[in-house]
Amino acid sequence: MDADSRSRKKLAAELAVLSRRVAELEEQHRECLETEQALRQSEERYRRLLESVTDYVYTVTVRDGVPVATSHGPNCVAVTGYTAGEYAENPLLWLTMVPDEDRGAVLAHAEKVLCGEAAPFEHRIIHKDGSIRYVRNTPVVHRDASGALVAYDGIINDITERRRAEELITRMSLHDGLTGLPNRALYMDRLRQTLSLAERQGERVAVYFIDLDRFKGVNDDYGHEAGDKVLAEAARRLVACVRRSDTVARIGGDEFVALTPGVGDPANAEAIAGKMVAAMREPFTVLGHICQLGASVGLALFPEDAGRGGLLLRLADAAMYAAKKAGGGDGWRRTGAAPAAFQSNSSE
């Protein structure tokens, strides 16, 4: 076989190899296109699924651990009031719509997500209309083949109604339904915290026990609706006798208690007790009836009279009954320091 013939055969063999390689590359290209299409379809299904189970989704693109771009789904306007276009125009809009008190926690959560921690997080946002909303942000991280974080989705759910319902339940469990005042449980919790702080700061605290006089006659003569209105008005008057930072609570029936931290001189607490008595002496006009009541008020001071909240309240209660007995009602009295035996037998 001559050299020319061998060259043609070699060339034919090389062409055959090249043809097979081209065919393989075309097949690989076709498979890549199919894979890419499948990925796009999968991504689209993923998006539709997310949007069907959540309120809206935003996506953050990450490069070298740093967020470089953010896109918001069209449903963002329903939750936040802002359109996807407004978010695109102002990349920091998502942060400025977070209340100042929550901003630090939101930024800390974003840093954790960039480190790969994908725990859900709840916080407040300020809707475009100025209202406060609560949202739950559930991150879903995306990594490349090497494991590096390349993006994450933020699945946003508006949980405002749920949070408001929870707050209402909490409030109902800690407040009196008729007057809106704290109930006994909340009062005792505030009393414990107040005494703990007062002990560290060397402050005086006053505890008051208030019982309405002649209240039973209102219910008997005019009915329970009139009695309820009297109790609500009595609550408003007692609140007006103290500072906004103080506490007035209803612990049952026509019995109220109050707490004034940092009251200073005992004469200040005595003046407040006098104001309470005077406020209850003013006539109550309810359902067309004028009701003349009054109040007996007992006063106990920390640390002079007792060092524990439960004991202080018991002493104030005893002083209230002493005032009621001594004056036939409508007056106030301060307790003396509790006898040692009484203190040792008292519980919180």
Q: Could you give the CA distance from residue 301 to residue 335 in angstroms, rounded to a whole number? A: 8
- Residue position matching structure tokens 């219910």: 219
Q: Worst-scoring range by mean pLDDT, 50-54, 109-113, 182-186?
A: 50-54
Q: Could you give the CA distance from residue 58 to residue 151 in angstroms, rounded to a whole number? A: 11
16-36 residues labelled b (16+ CB within 10 A) or e (exposed) = eeeeeeeeeeeeeeeeeeeee
Q: What percent of the chain has pLDDT over 70?
A: 85
Q: Could you give the CA distance from residue 268 to residue 264 in angstroms, rounded to a whole number? A: 7
The whole-model pTM stands at 0.61
Residue 59 CB: number of other CB atoms within 10 A?
A: 16
pLDDT, tens digit, 9 for 90 and up, residues 233-269: 999 999 999 999 999 999 999 999 999 999 999 999 9
Name the residue with higher pLDDT: 33 or 320.
320
pLDDT of residue 38: 57
Residue range 133-155: average pLDDT? 90
Dihedral sign from CA coordinates of 66, 71, 76, 81: positive
The mean predicted confidence, pLDDT, of the chain is 85
pLDDT, tens digit, 9 for 90 and up, residues 154-210: 889 999 998 888 888 877 888 998 999 999 999 999 999 999 999 999 999 999 999
User: Domain map of the chain by residue range?
Assistant: 3-163, 175-345
Quickly name the fold that domain 3-163 has.
Beta-Lactamase (3.30.450)
pLDDT of residue 345: 38
Residue 170 is which amino acid? T
Per DSSP, what are the bridge partners of residue 132?
126
Quickly name the fold that domain 175-345 has.
Alpha-Beta Plaits (3.30.70)
**If pLDDT is split at 50, 70 and 90, which confidence band does 9 have?**
confident
Is there a contact between 142 and 116 (Cβ–Cβ < 8 Å)? no
